[in-house]
Amino acid sequence: MSLTGFEVEIQREVDGGLTTEDMTLSMGPQHPSTHGVLRFVVRADGEVMKEAIPDIGYLHRSIEKISEKVGWHGFMPYTDRVDYVAAMFCNQGWAMAAERLASIEVPKRAEYCRIIAAEFNRIQSHLLSVGSMAMDIGAYTPFIHTVREREYINDLIEELCGARLTFNYMRIGGVAWDIPPGWREKALSFLERFEPLIDEYNALISYNKIYTERLRNVAAISAQEAIDYNLVGPNLRGSGVRYDVRRDLPYSVYPELDFDVPVGSGELGTLGDCFDRYMVRMREMKESCKILRQCLAQLPQGPVIAKVARNFKPAAGDCYVRIESARGDMGWYVVSDGTAFPHRCKIRTGSFAAMSIIQKVSRNLMIADLIAVIASFDLVAPEIDR
Protein backbone atom coordinates (compact mmCIF):
# COMPACT_ATOMS: atom_id res chain seq x y z
CA MET A 1 0.00 0.00 0.00
CA SER A 2 1.32 3.44 -0.91
CA LEU A 3 1.56 5.97 1.89
CA THR A 4 1.06 8.83 -0.53
CA GLY A 5 -2.27 7.76 -2.01
CA PHE A 6 -5.72 8.83 -0.94
CA GLU A 7 -8.01 6.23 -2.39
CA VAL A 8 -11.61 5.46 -1.45
CA GLU A 9 -13.51 2.70 -3.19
CA ILE A 10 -16.49 1.53 -1.18
CA GLN A 11 -18.42 -0.73 -3.52
CA ARG A 12 -18.00 -2.23 -6.94
CA GLU A 13 -19.87 -4.81 -8.97
CA VAL A 14 -18.35 -8.28 -9.31
CA ASP A 15 -20.18 -11.01 -11.25
CA GLY A 16 -23.45 -9.12 -11.05
CA GLY A 17 -23.27 -8.52 -7.26
CA LEU A 18 -21.90 -5.83 -4.96
CA THR A 19 -18.76 -6.40 -2.91
CA THR A 20 -17.00 -4.12 -0.45
CA GLU A 21 -13.36 -3.12 -0.38
CA ASP A 22 -11.20 -1.43 2.22
CA MET A 23 -10.92 2.35 2.29
CA THR A 24 -7.53 4.03 2.49
CA LEU A 25 -7.89 7.28 4.42
CA SER A 26 -5.39 9.96 5.41
CA MET A 27 -5.59 11.34 8.94
CA GLY A 28 -3.32 14.36 9.11
CA PRO A 29 -0.75 15.79 8.78
CA GLN A 30 -2.90 18.81 9.69
CA HIS A 31 -5.43 17.28 12.03
CA PRO A 32 -6.20 18.83 15.45
CA SER A 33 -6.06 15.49 17.26
CA THR A 34 -2.57 14.53 16.06
CA HIS A 35 -1.10 17.45 18.07
CA GLY A 36 1.33 18.46 15.36
CA VAL A 37 2.20 17.68 11.77
CA LEU A 38 1.80 13.93 12.10
CA ARG A 39 0.05 11.68 9.56
CA PHE A 40 -1.60 8.29 9.79
CA VAL A 41 -2.60 6.27 6.75
CA VAL A 42 -5.69 4.37 7.85
CA ARG A 43 -6.96 1.25 6.07
CA ALA A 44 -10.52 0.70 7.19
CA ASP A 45 -13.53 -1.49 6.50
CA GLY A 46 -16.26 1.01 7.18
CA GLU A 47 -15.63 2.36 10.71
CA VAL A 48 -13.33 -0.51 11.70
CA MET A 49 -9.60 -0.01 11.13
CA LYS A 50 -7.52 -2.78 9.65
CA GLU A 51 -4.41 -0.78 10.52
CA ALA A 52 -3.13 2.76 11.01
CA ILE A 53 0.36 3.31 9.61
CA PRO A 54 2.33 6.30 10.95
CA ASP A 55 3.88 8.49 8.25
CA ILE A 56 6.44 10.74 9.91
CA GLY A 57 9.00 13.30 8.80
CA TYR A 58 6.91 16.45 8.34
CA LEU A 59 8.72 18.23 11.18
CA HIS A 60 12.28 17.03 10.61
CA ARG A 61 14.65 19.96 11.27
CA SER A 62 18.08 18.31 11.46
CA ILE A 63 18.50 19.31 15.11
CA GLU A 64 21.09 16.60 15.71
CA LYS A 65 23.15 17.88 12.78
CA ILE A 66 22.83 21.47 14.01
CA SER A 67 24.64 20.47 17.21
CA GLU A 68 27.77 19.86 15.14
CA LYS A 69 27.68 23.41 13.77
CA VAL A 70 26.81 25.68 16.72
CA GLY A 71 29.11 24.40 19.47
CA TRP A 72 28.55 23.04 22.97
CA HIS A 73 27.12 26.18 24.57
CA GLY A 74 25.37 27.32 21.41
CA PHE A 75 23.29 24.15 21.12
CA MET A 76 21.48 24.64 24.43
CA PRO A 77 18.64 26.81 22.99
CA TYR A 78 18.12 24.25 20.22
CA THR A 79 17.52 21.49 22.76
CA ASP A 80 14.32 23.30 23.79
CA ARG A 81 12.92 22.43 20.37
CA VAL A 82 13.40 18.66 20.75
CA ASP A 83 10.34 18.57 23.01
CA TYR A 84 8.90 22.05 23.32
CA VAL A 85 6.25 20.88 25.83
CA ALA A 86 8.90 19.61 28.27
CA ALA A 87 11.99 21.57 27.29
CA MET A 88 13.66 21.54 30.73
CA PHE A 89 14.46 17.84 30.37
CA CYS A 90 16.11 18.41 27.01
CA ASN A 91 18.22 21.18 28.52
CA GLN A 92 19.23 18.87 31.34
CA GLY A 93 20.10 15.92 29.10
CA TRP A 94 22.44 17.99 26.94
CA ALA A 95 24.07 19.66 29.94
CA MET A 96 24.63 16.32 31.71
CA ALA A 97 26.22 14.80 28.60
CA ALA A 98 28.66 17.71 28.23
CA GLU A 99 29.44 17.64 31.96
CA ARG A 100 30.17 13.93 31.91
CA LEU A 101 32.56 14.31 28.96
CA ALA A 102 34.39 17.17 30.70
CA SER A 103 34.19 15.70 34.25
CA ILE A 104 32.45 18.82 35.57
CA GLU A 105 30.90 18.69 39.05
CA VAL A 106 27.66 20.66 39.24
CA PRO A 107 27.07 22.64 42.48
CA LYS A 108 24.45 21.12 44.79
CA ARG A 109 22.18 24.14 44.70
CA ALA A 110 22.23 24.06 40.90
CA GLU A 111 21.17 20.39 40.94
CA TYR A 112 18.22 21.26 43.15
CA CYS A 113 17.30 24.19 40.88
CA ARG A 114 17.36 21.79 37.92
CA ILE A 115 15.05 19.27 39.60
CA ILE A 116 12.64 21.99 40.75
CA ALA A 117 12.43 23.37 37.21
CA ALA A 118 12.12 19.90 35.67
CA GLU A 119 9.37 18.67 38.02
CA PHE A 120 7.31 21.82 37.49
CA ASN A 121 7.77 21.19 33.77
CA ARG A 122 6.59 17.57 34.23
CA ILE A 123 3.36 18.76 35.87
CA GLN A 124 2.98 21.38 33.15
CA SER A 125 3.41 18.76 30.41
CA HIS A 126 1.04 16.25 32.02
CA LEU A 127 -1.62 18.95 32.46
CA LEU A 128 -1.53 19.65 28.74
CA SER A 129 -1.63 15.92 28.01
CA VAL A 130 -4.63 15.00 30.16
CA GLY A 131 -6.50 18.20 29.30
CA SER A 132 -6.11 17.83 25.54
CA MET A 133 -6.94 14.11 25.80
CA ALA A 134 -10.30 14.96 27.35
CA MET A 135 -10.91 17.60 24.68
CA ASP A 136 -9.98 15.20 21.86
CA ILE A 137 -12.62 12.79 23.13
CA GLY A 138 -15.25 15.50 23.34
CA ALA A 139 -15.10 17.14 26.79
CA TYR A 140 -14.04 20.77 26.46
CA THR A 141 -14.39 22.05 30.06
CA PRO A 142 -11.56 19.95 31.62
CA PHE A 143 -9.10 21.42 29.12
CA ILE A 144 -9.86 24.93 30.42
CA HIS A 145 -9.17 23.75 33.98
CA THR A 146 -5.80 22.19 33.10
CA VAL A 147 -4.67 25.15 30.99
CA ARG A 148 -5.54 27.48 33.88
CA GLU A 149 -3.21 25.58 36.23
CA ARG A 150 -0.57 25.31 33.52
CA GLU A 151 -0.56 29.09 33.19
CA TYR A 152 0.13 29.47 36.93
CA ILE A 153 3.16 27.20 36.48
CA ASN A 154 4.17 29.24 33.42
CA ASP A 155 4.15 32.34 35.62
CA LEU A 156 6.51 30.66 38.09
CA ILE A 157 8.87 29.43 35.38
CA GLU A 158 8.81 32.83 33.68
CA GLU A 159 10.05 34.38 36.93
CA LEU A 160 12.75 31.75 37.05
CA CYS A 161 14.12 32.03 33.50
CA GLY A 162 12.14 34.62 31.54
CA ALA A 163 10.34 32.20 29.20
CA ARG A 164 7.11 30.21 29.18
CA LEU A 165 7.73 27.49 26.58
CA THR A 166 11.30 27.17 25.33
CA PHE A 167 13.10 27.87 28.57
CA ASN A 168 16.86 27.78 27.85
CA TYR A 169 17.29 27.74 31.63
CA MET A 170 20.06 25.22 32.15
CA ARG A 171 23.71 25.63 31.28
CA ILE A 172 26.72 23.35 31.10
CA GLY A 173 27.81 23.37 34.74
CA GLY A 174 24.48 24.35 36.33
CA VAL A 175 21.66 26.79 35.64
CA ALA A 176 21.61 30.30 34.20
CA TRP A 177 19.90 32.07 37.13
CA ASP A 178 19.32 31.42 40.80
CA ILE A 179 15.84 31.22 42.30
CA PRO A 180 14.67 34.84 42.77
CA PRO A 181 13.71 36.26 46.20
CA GLY A 182 10.21 35.23 47.27
CA TRP A 183 9.90 32.62 44.52
CA ARG A 184 10.10 29.65 46.90
CA GLU A 185 7.08 30.90 48.86
CA LYS A 186 5.09 31.39 45.64
CA ALA A 187 5.95 27.85 44.53
CA LEU A 188 4.82 26.37 47.86
CA SER A 189 1.61 28.41 47.70
CA PHE A 190 0.88 26.99 44.25
CA LEU A 191 1.45 23.41 45.44
CA GLU A 192 -0.91 23.96 48.40
CA ARG A 193 -3.65 25.04 46.00
CA PHE A 194 -2.90 22.63 43.16
CA GLU A 195 -2.73 19.25 44.91
CA PRO A 196 -6.42 19.21 45.96
CA LEU A 197 -7.35 20.23 42.41
CA ILE A 198 -5.99 16.92 41.07
CA ASP A 199 -8.73 15.13 43.02
CA GLU A 200 -11.22 17.69 41.76
CA TYR A 201 -10.12 16.99 38.19
CA ASN A 202 -10.58 13.26 38.76
CA ALA A 203 -14.12 13.92 39.94
CA LEU A 204 -14.78 16.15 36.94
CA ILE A 205 -13.59 13.87 34.15
CA SER A 206 -11.41 10.87 35.07
CA TYR A 207 -14.30 8.70 36.27
CA ASN A 208 -16.97 10.22 34.06
CA LYS A 209 -18.94 7.31 32.56
CA ILE A 210 -18.71 8.49 28.95
CA TYR A 211 -14.98 9.20 29.30
CA THR A 212 -14.16 5.84 30.86
CA GLU A 213 -16.21 3.98 28.24
CA ARG A 214 -14.13 5.62 25.51
CA LEU A 215 -10.83 4.64 27.17
CA ARG A 216 -11.14 1.34 29.02
CA ASN A 217 -10.20 -1.84 27.15
CA VAL A 218 -8.98 0.26 24.19
CA ALA A 219 -5.48 -0.43 22.81
CA ALA A 220 -4.43 -2.56 25.78
CA ILE A 221 -0.69 -3.30 25.81
CA SER A 222 0.66 -6.07 28.03
CA ALA A 223 3.82 -5.57 30.08
CA GLN A 224 5.78 -7.87 27.76
CA GLU A 225 4.56 -6.07 24.64
CA ALA A 226 5.49 -2.71 26.16
CA ILE A 227 9.01 -3.99 26.83
CA ASP A 228 9.30 -5.64 23.40
CA TYR A 229 8.32 -2.40 21.65
CA ASN A 230 10.65 -0.39 23.90
CA LEU A 231 7.97 1.87 25.32
CA VAL A 232 9.11 4.25 28.05
CA GLY A 233 7.73 6.56 30.70
CA PRO A 234 3.98 6.60 31.43
CA ASN A 235 3.36 4.44 28.34
CA LEU A 236 5.52 1.69 29.86
CA ARG A 237 4.33 2.17 33.42
CA GLY A 238 0.71 2.17 32.22
CA SER A 239 1.26 -1.50 31.31
CA GLY A 240 2.27 -2.30 34.89
CA VAL A 241 6.06 -2.10 34.49
CA ARG A 242 7.45 -0.19 37.48
CA TYR A 243 10.48 1.40 35.83
CA ASP A 244 11.55 5.01 36.22
CA VAL A 245 15.04 6.32 35.41
CA ARG A 246 14.86 8.67 38.41
CA ARG A 247 14.59 5.67 40.74
CA ASP A 248 16.29 2.82 38.86
CA LEU A 249 19.22 4.72 37.32
CA PRO A 250 19.21 7.73 39.64
CA TYR A 251 20.89 10.98 38.64
CA SER A 252 21.22 14.50 40.01
CA VAL A 253 19.72 14.67 43.56
CA TYR A 254 16.93 12.12 43.02
CA PRO A 255 18.65 9.58 45.34
CA GLU A 256 18.02 12.06 48.19
CA LEU A 257 14.29 12.30 47.47
CA ASP A 258 11.38 10.08 48.42
CA PHE A 259 8.69 9.41 45.79
CA ASP A 260 6.59 6.56 44.37
CA VAL A 261 6.39 5.26 40.80
CA PRO A 262 2.69 4.91 39.79
CA VAL A 263 1.81 2.07 37.41
CA GLY A 264 -1.32 0.90 35.61
CA SER A 265 -3.46 -1.73 37.30
CA GLY A 266 -6.31 -2.47 34.91
CA GLU A 267 -8.39 -0.31 37.22
CA LEU A 268 -11.51 -0.14 35.05
CA GLY A 269 -10.68 -2.49 32.21
CA THR A 270 -7.68 -4.31 30.78
CA LEU A 271 -4.18 -3.69 32.13
CA GLY A 272 -2.30 -1.31 29.85
CA ASP A 273 -5.33 0.26 28.17
CA CYS A 274 -5.77 3.95 27.33
CA PHE A 275 -7.32 4.62 30.74
CA ASP A 276 -4.28 3.20 32.56
CA ARG A 277 -1.89 5.39 30.59
CA TYR A 278 -4.05 8.42 31.37
CA MET A 279 -4.26 7.66 35.10
CA VAL A 280 -0.50 7.14 35.42
CA ARG A 281 -0.01 10.76 34.35
CA MET A 282 -2.66 11.97 36.79
CA ARG A 283 -0.90 10.19 39.66
CA GLU A 284 2.56 11.29 38.56
CA MET A 285 1.52 14.90 39.07
CA LYS A 286 0.97 14.16 42.77
CA GLU A 287 4.39 12.53 42.98
CA SER A 288 5.98 15.58 41.33
CA CYS A 289 4.31 17.76 43.97
CA LYS A 290 5.88 15.53 46.63
CA ILE A 291 9.32 15.88 45.01
CA LEU A 292 8.95 19.65 44.72
CA ARG A 293 8.06 20.03 48.40
CA GLN A 294 11.19 18.12 49.39
CA CYS A 295 13.43 20.10 47.04
CA LEU A 296 12.08 23.45 48.22
CA ALA A 297 12.58 22.39 51.85
CA GLN A 298 16.10 21.00 51.34
CA LEU A 299 17.41 23.68 48.95
CA PRO A 300 21.04 24.29 49.99
CA GLN A 301 23.00 27.52 49.79
CA GLY A 302 25.83 28.05 47.32
CA PRO A 303 26.55 28.85 43.67
CA VAL A 304 24.25 27.74 40.86
CA ILE A 305 26.86 27.17 38.16
CA ALA A 306 30.39 25.79 38.03
CA LYS A 307 33.24 27.58 36.30
CA VAL A 308 33.15 26.47 32.66
CA ALA A 309 35.35 27.89 29.92
CA ARG A 310 33.58 29.98 27.32
CA ASN A 311 35.59 28.11 24.68
CA PHE A 312 34.41 24.76 26.01
CA LYS A 313 36.34 21.77 24.67
CA PRO A 314 35.68 18.48 26.48
CA ALA A 315 38.12 15.63 26.12
CA ALA A 316 37.68 13.30 23.15
CA GLY A 317 35.32 10.45 23.93
CA ASP A 318 31.66 9.54 24.03
CA CYS A 319 28.93 9.14 26.62
CA TYR A 320 25.29 8.16 26.93
CA VAL A 321 23.08 10.02 29.41
CA ARG A 322 19.57 8.97 30.41
CA ILE A 323 16.97 11.14 32.12
CA GLU A 324 13.29 10.63 32.93
CA SER A 325 11.51 13.17 30.74
CA ALA A 326 7.75 13.79 30.87
CA ARG A 327 7.52 11.28 28.01
CA GLY A 328 9.88 8.79 29.62
CA ASP A 329 13.46 7.61 29.24
CA MET A 330 15.25 10.22 27.10
CA GLY A 331 18.74 9.26 25.96
CA TRP A 332 21.55 11.54 24.80
CA TYR A 333 24.47 9.90 23.01
CA VAL A 334 27.17 12.50 22.44
CA VAL A 335 30.58 12.08 20.82
CA SER A 336 33.39 14.60 21.35
CA ASP A 337 36.53 14.83 19.23
CA GLY A 338 38.14 17.29 21.62
CA THR A 339 37.13 20.42 19.69
CA ALA A 340 34.69 23.25 20.40
CA PHE A 341 32.05 21.47 18.32
CA PRO A 342 30.40 18.10 19.07
CA HIS A 343 31.32 15.39 16.61
CA ARG A 344 27.93 13.64 16.85
CA CYS A 345 24.73 13.84 18.84
CA LYS A 346 21.96 11.26 18.83
CA ILE A 347 18.77 11.77 20.86
CA ARG A 348 16.49 8.91 21.88
CA THR A 349 12.93 10.04 22.66
CA GLY A 350 9.77 8.48 24.07
CA SER A 351 7.39 9.70 21.36
CA PHE A 352 9.44 8.08 18.59
CA ALA A 353 9.42 4.78 20.52
CA ALA A 354 5.64 4.94 20.97
CA MET A 355 5.04 5.30 17.22
CA SER A 356 6.28 1.76 16.59
CA ILE A 357 3.37 0.07 18.37
CA ILE A 358 0.50 2.14 16.95
CA GLN A 359 0.16 0.00 13.81
CA LYS A 360 -0.24 -3.10 15.98
CA VAL A 361 -2.68 -1.75 18.59
CA SER A 362 -4.86 0.03 16.02
CA ARG A 363 -6.03 -3.21 14.36
CA ASN A 364 -9.78 -3.81 14.71
CA LEU A 365 -10.37 -0.56 16.60
CA MET A 366 -12.92 2.01 15.45
CA ILE A 367 -11.56 5.04 13.58
CA ALA A 368 -12.71 7.25 16.47
CA ASP A 369 -10.60 5.14 18.86
CA LEU A 370 -7.41 6.19 17.06
CA ILE A 371 -7.91 9.66 18.58
CA ALA A 372 -7.92 8.14 22.07
CA VAL A 373 -4.86 6.00 21.30
CA ILE A 374 -2.79 8.95 20.03
CA ALA A 375 -3.79 11.06 23.03
CA SER A 376 -2.99 8.26 25.51
CA PHE A 377 0.58 8.01 24.17
CA ASP A 378 1.09 11.76 24.70
CA LEU A 379 2.90 12.16 21.39
CA VAL A 380 4.78 15.37 20.63
CA ALA A 381 5.71 15.77 16.97
CA PRO A 382 9.19 17.35 17.37
CA GLU A 383 10.25 14.41 19.55
CA ILE A 384 9.34 12.05 16.69
CA ASP A 385 11.13 13.79 13.84
CA ARG A 386 13.90 15.93 15.36
Q: Nearest-CA neighbor of 47 among 370, 366, 373, 369? A: 366
pLDDT tens string 310-331: 899 999 999 999 999 999 999 9
Give the model's confidence band at 46: pLDDT under 50 very low, under 70 low, under 90 confident, else very high. confident
Split at pLDDT 50, 70, 90, the class of 80 is very high
Q: Looking at the chain, how many residues does it have?
A: 386
Q: Looking at 183-267, which runs of residues are DSSP E strands?
A: none
Between 1.20.1250.20, 3.40.50.1820, 1.10.645.10, 1.25.40.10, what CATH number should domain 63-380 receive?
1.10.645.10
Q: What does pLDDT average to over the chain?
A: 91
- Report residue 254 CA to chain centroid gap: 19
Domain positions in the chain are: 63-380
Examine the pLDDT at 264 and tell me if it is beyond 50: yes
Mean predicted confidence (pLDDT) in 234-252 = 96
Residue 1 has pLDDT above 50, yes or no: no
pLDDT for position 9: 45
Percent of the chain's residues with pLDDT above 90? 80
Q: If 0-12 CB within 10 Å is exposed, 13-18 middle and 19+ buried, where does residue 203 land?
A: exposed
Rounded mean pLDDT, 104-115: 96
pLDDT of res. 17:
62
